Amino acid sequence: MTAEFAVALPAIALVLAASLASVHAVAVQVRLADAAADAARALGRGETSAVAAGIAARHVRGAGLAVVDDGDVVCARLTARPGGLLAALELRAESCAMRGGL
């Protein structure tokens, strides 16, 4: 029984670690989507991209911001890495807003 437990324990630990890392990645993706929406609204109000990047950084540390200006619509594209076991994964979120919004 001890030998079987010694063999199974690393597999159980790996599955648990992968599950926790996946939950963390999903949480970062949700925060990234919220940050993209907030940054897009700020850009739509006429704020600078530096202000929008600051708003995004408050939600997700290390988030990269790309601004896409398409006339009446401005979009914020954010990228971030969740870190940990899934550090190689790049998460993305995009949100757009009309210019001149309040």
Give the pLDDT score at 102: 58
44 exposure class (CB count in 10 Å sphere: 0-12, 13-18, 19+): buried
pLDDT in tens, 52-97: 999 999 999 889 999 998 889 999 999 999 888 888 999 999 999 9
Cα→Cα distances 81→7, 46, 87, 88, Å: 32, 28, 6, 7
Contact 55, 62 (CB under 8 A): no
